[in-house]
Structure 1
């Protein structure tokens, strides 16, 4: 039985190249290519469930961090291999924390991709020397990690947090952000999940503690 793979990347040329490369491997088959996490979720909800996901980080609508976390919480059996141009320590740690089983840079050699796929399928994980080095670096107590980077908050979520720390209602916040109340509900749910809080009050307290907002 071949291992089924979904490729999630907003760069169509990259997605197509990855698909062509993976199709050359006898042990794997590409189920589909999609442009972002939201499209992946839609396919999964239609029962088009891959065994492994090649996941980019920087994508519109639903990025890699959000997608990985959703998969971790809803389909933990789906293995994730992050594939990105981003070599920042906080991005690597963030993806692994959100459920990725491995992390590859897009500049890797074809044999490294095959090696990573095989390792994840057979062992359940793949850590290259580069990723291992970044993990060790992150354990250094002198390494400072910005709270926004650590929580993987995007610009719109930060805007939401700052407005939510006022006396504005969610409807008024939606008006200020020029989005619908439903979109603001989405920001709230995402921020609550990333910050590990359940109420607006605790979110505000945590935002102040982390100096995301100042009194």
Structure 2
């Protein structure tokens, strides 16, 4: 069975080495990329042989983990990111999920916690769905008009959202091919949903679907 590939973004070499040794001892993971800063990571994009998941440190000089997530969101990337930090700050966690992190772990977590988070993110797209949904709801403060009774999507918007939520995690180019549309049209549906429902990321679209039970597997 192919190993799950992982990239590590952390400014401390000893932390990167420790994580790499820990993960590779579990035998199901292989660390393929290491970056000493968020800046170095962003400058290296796009990557060849992109890892299945990135473990991103929050506390780094010049650009912290949240700022890295914002940059990734602005570029419409689909990278899966697990934020790892020693700061258990509610605002940091809220911001991490708001800007597309697939999960959050405190650096005091156990090896089993780390393994569970990685496996959940790779298999279903994110970990701790209930917690993420709660925080997204609190963060966005949706107006009453966005209640379940008033969610109305066009046929194409629903088709687009269904593909976004598909466990195969299609890219926008693949969605365009499946729906026989241009990538520009796909991006217009994304932008329309972002604007209408105050959504900020692809993860936000999935959670929006979960919240309102609009598509599989949330029906």
Fold in common (TM above 0.5): yes
Report the counterpart of residue 40 of structure 1 in structure 2.
41
Report the counterpart of residue 189 of structure 1 in structure 2.
none
Please list, as runs of the form range in 1=range in 2, the aligned pairs for 1:130-141 lying within 5 A after superposition: 135=135, 138=138
Report the counterpart of residue 183 of structure 1 in structure 2.
none
Larger Rg: 1
Change (3 A) 1:137 1:45: closer
Kindly indicate whether the alpha-carbon contact (under 8 Å) linking 1:89 and 1:134 is maintained by their aligned counterparts in 2.
no
Report the counterpart of residue 74 of structure 2 in structure 1.
73
d(CA) in 2 for partners of 1:29, 1:96: 25
| Structure 1: unaligned runs, 5 residues or longer | 142-195, 197-215
Q: TM-score, normalised by structure 1?
A: 0.57
Kindly indicate whether the alpha-carbon contact (under 8 Å) linking 1:89 and 1:138 is maintained by their aligned counterparts in 2.
no
SS of aligned partner of 1:72: helix
How many Å apart are 1:75 and its aligned residue?
5.5
SS of aligned partner of 1:78: coil
Please list, as runs of the form range in 1=range in 2, the aligned pairs for 1:1-215 lying within 5 A after superposition: 1-45=2-46, 47=48, 49-74=50-75, 76-127=77-128, 135=135, 138=138
Kindly indicate whether the alpha-carbon contact (under 8 Å) linking 2:11 and 2:60 is maintained by their aligned counterparts in 1.
yes
Indicate the RMSD between aligned Cα atoms, in angstroms. Answer: 2.8
How many Å apart are 1:137 and its aligned residue?
10
SS of aligned partner of 1:87: coil
Report the counterpart of residue 206 of structure 1 in structure 2.
none
Change (3 A) 1:136 1:46: closer
d(CA) in 1 for partners of 2:137, 2:128: 14
Of the two structures, which has the highest relative contact order with CA contacts closer than 8 Å and spacing of 6 or more? 2
| Structure 2: unaligned runs, 5 residues or longer | 142-197, 199-219
Report the counterpart of residue 147 of structure 1 in structure 2.
none
Kindly indicate whether the alpha-carbon contact (under 8 Å) linking 2:97 and 2:136 is maintained by their aligned counterparts in 1.
no
How many Å apart are 1:73 and its aligned residue?
3.3
